[in-house]
Amino acid sequence: MKIIQKELGSFRSFMSDRWNRKTAVLIVIAVIALSVISIAKDALGKAVYIEDSSGKVSGVVRDDENAAAVFPLRIEADVDGKKQKRDVTLTIDGKNSEKKEADEEMSAESLFDSELSEMLMKLSRSGGKKIMLPKSLPGGTGLIWRRGKSSSWPALILLAPILIWLLYLDGEKKKRDRSREKTDSVERELPAFNDQLLLLLGSGLIFRDAFRRIADGYRSRTRKSFFQQEIIGIEDETEQGVSDIVNVITRQSEAMGVSQFSRLAGVIRDNQLRGTDISGKLKTESEILWDLRKRNAEEKGRLAETKLTLPLAILLLVLVLVTAAPAMIQVQGG
C-alpha cells in the first residue's frame, strides 16, 4: 500500500510540472481526435450488410463495384463437434490471389481454417456490388455469418492513459539517471576535494580562503562536472553575502542527498562553529572516501565484465567457426 501511495505521489508531482501537464493534454486531445475520426468513419462508412432479424448476415453490398471495400465479419461454425468462432475481415478488391492447397493430414480445426482462408480469397476476387456469402465450406461445414466489430475507438480511448503513464515512467527513469550521475560525480571527486582542502589548510590558509582557492580553480576549467558546479555555486552564494558558508554548505549537502558530502559538511560545521580540529577529521575522511571510491570502481568493473560476457561469447563462437570452417570443408571435400 505504501508503494502505491508513493507511486501516486510521484505521479502527482510529475503532473504538477507545467511541461508534463501540457504534453498530457496534447496526448488526450490527439486521442480524442482520433476517436472522433474513427466513430465518424464507422457512422459514415459505405459497408452495407444483408442480414435478417436474428443478425445473421447473408451478403454484403459495396457502394462502388470498382472500388475496394472492407467488411469486418464474425463466422460461427460447428467443427468436429466443437463450436468455432473466427473474426475475419473480408476485403473485396477484385485482384487475383494465389490459391493455397490444404494439407490432407491437417486436423479438423486446421482444415477448417485453411478452407475458410481459401474461401475468403475467392470472395475477395468477387465482382459486382452485391456479394452473397456462402452458407457452408467446400467440406460441408455450415457457416453462420454475423457483423464483426470494426470500431477501434474503445482501444484508442485506452491509449491516452497508457501513453501518459509511459511518459511518466520515462520521466522517472531520466530523473533516476540524473540523480545517479550526480551521486557518481560527488563520490568520484569528493576525495580529491577533501585532499585539496587538507593540503591548503596545512599550508597555513584559513578554511574560507582554502575553499575560495579550490572554487576558483574549478571555475577556470572549461568543462565542469556537477560537483564542481556545486562548489562554485556555494562560493558565489557566500560571496553575495546572503548567508555564511556553513549554512550554504549544509543546505547544499541536504539538497544533494549524498551521505559522504553530508558527513564532510558536518566536519566543516563543527570546525567553524565549535572550533574543533578539522585536519585530523579530514585525514580520517580522506581514507574513507578513497576506499569508497576504490570499491565503487571495482563494482563498476565487475558490472562491465558481466555486460561484456555475451558479446565475448559471440566473438568466441565466430572465431571457432572461422578457424574450424576450412578444416571441415577440407574433410568433406576429401
Which tens digits make up the pLDDT trace of 99-117? 444 444 556 777 777 877 7
Largest CA distance in the chain: 103
Q: What is the pLDDT of residue 219?
A: 92
Whole-angstrom distance, CA of residue 139 vs CA of residue 153: 37
Helices (H) and strands (E) counted in the chain, each on its own, are 9, 6
Whole-angstrom distance, CA of residue 225 vs CA of residue 186: 9
Regions of the chain where pLDDT drops below 50: 96-104
Which tens digits make up the pLDDT trace of 135-194? 777 777 777 777 666 556 666 778 888 888 888 888 888 888 888 888 888 888 999 999
- Residues near 134 by Cβ (< 8 Å), separated by ≥ 6? 119, 143
Q: Which residue from 269, 278, 176, 194 is spatially nearest to 231, judged by alpha carbons?
A: 194
Buried b (16+ CB within 10 A) or exposed e, 56-86: bbeebbbeeeeeebebbbbbebebeeeebeb
Domains and CATH numbers, the chain: 2-43+154-167 (no CATH), 48-149 (no CATH), 183-302 (1.20.81)
Q: How distant is the alpha carbon of residue 20 from its chain centre? A: 16
Phi, psi of 96 (to 5 degrees): -75, 145
Q: Which residue from 214, 217, 225 is spatially nearest to 249, judged by alpha carbons?
A: 214
Q: What is the pLDDT of residue 151?
A: 55
Whole-angstrom distance, CA of residue 296 vs CA of residue 291: 9
